[in-house]
Structure 1
Amino acid sequence: MVRTDGNPADGARVVGYAPGAWDLFHVGHLNVLRHARAQCDYLVAGVVSDEMLELAKGRAPIIPTHERAEIVRHLDVVDEVFVETQPDKLETWRRRPFDVFFKGDDWRGTPQGAELERRFAEVGVQVVYFPYTVHTSSTLLRRALSVLTQVPVDAGQARHG
């Protein structure tokens, strides 16, 4: 594995990068970050900006970027937070280099995952997949809030618009 800060004999550290929305933060998010931290020496959590989430998912997050970044920044497993403001993960790597990229296993074996692996392999970055926590997700939480409050699931868009 290529190491961002030198070679292993020199005591170099492996820098990991775990991007996410981290909206409606829950135990599944914490599990991903814990697993990522266990596989690197220094963990950078990427917080995808509101604008990038709207492009990718077609809806705004419930919690705005600066608040999501603040929550993630205060987790003991996270060493640094990087706010993603563009969609290309290789461009993110150019702006904030890392050795290992952590992704949800729903990308494993997909054309998008294969392309991600290919592009990162060209620059020496390993892609590691983690399983999602099945019983908890932001989507499920958003649906539950919608039912409980009778507020449409995409109400977050009005707040950000």
Structure 2
Amino acid sequence: MRRVITFGTFDLFHYGHLQILRRAKEIGDFLIVGISSDSLNFSKKGRYPIYTQMERKSIIEACKYVDYVFYEESLELKRQYCLEYKADILVMGDDWTGCFDNLSDICEVIYIPRTPSISTTQIIEKIRI
């Protein structure tokens, strides 16, 4: 069984989120998703997500492609998470290309194209208009 791991905030769940989860699941047999905790999101973006970490976790757990969900507490712990969850493959959006190549000694690293023209930030900006 090939275990795939991916990470994200997954705030305001949208079609792009669905696509990355679907494509990640197609690569392996068991999909593990690390959801950025509220505190991690605040530290990297300077704002809290619209949905709480508990709400975002519940949304991702309900997705048929996802087998297991946990809270990602630190960006610096990716190696530890990959080892802890016995990941064979790390899947990330291509906006992260090259950022996780240092993990290729413990798992295969695959960057997949993001769904064009959609992001949580764009959705928030559209709502504000």
Q: Normalising by structure 2, what TM-score?
A: 0.93
Partner of 1:95: 84
Among 78, 85, 101, the residue aligned to 1:117: 101
1:75-154 paired onto structure 2 within 5 Å: 75-88=63-76, 89-109=78-98, 113=99, 116-118=100-102, 120-123=103-106, 125-147=107-129
Partner of 2:11: 23
- Aligned length in residues: 128
Instruction: Give, in whole Å, the separation in 2 of the partners of 1:19 and 1:121.
Output: 16
Superposed displacement of residue 106, structure 1? 1.2
Uncovered stretches (5+) of structure 2, i.e. residues with no partner: none
Instruction: Give, in whole Å, the separation in 2 of the partners of 1:77 and 1:95.
Output: 21
What is the CA RMSD across the aligned residues, in angstroms?
1.2
Superposed displacement of residue 85, structure 1? 1.4
Question: Residues 16-68 of structure 1: CA distance to partner in whole angstroms, max 9, x if unpaired?
Answer: 00111000000000000000000011001111101111111222111110000
Question: Residues 120-141 of structure 1: CA distance to partner in whole angstroms, max 9, x if unpaired?
Answer: 1222x11111111112110111
> RCO higher in 1 or 2 (8 Å CA, sep ≥ 6)?
2
Runs of 4+ in 1 over 3 A off after TM superposition: none
The structure carrying a bigger strand percent of its residues is 2
1:56 aligns with 2:40: no
* Aligned residue type for 2:85: R
Uncovered stretches (5+) of structure 1, i.e. residues with no partner: 1-12, 148-161
* Aligned residue type for 1:129: Y
Larger Rg: 1
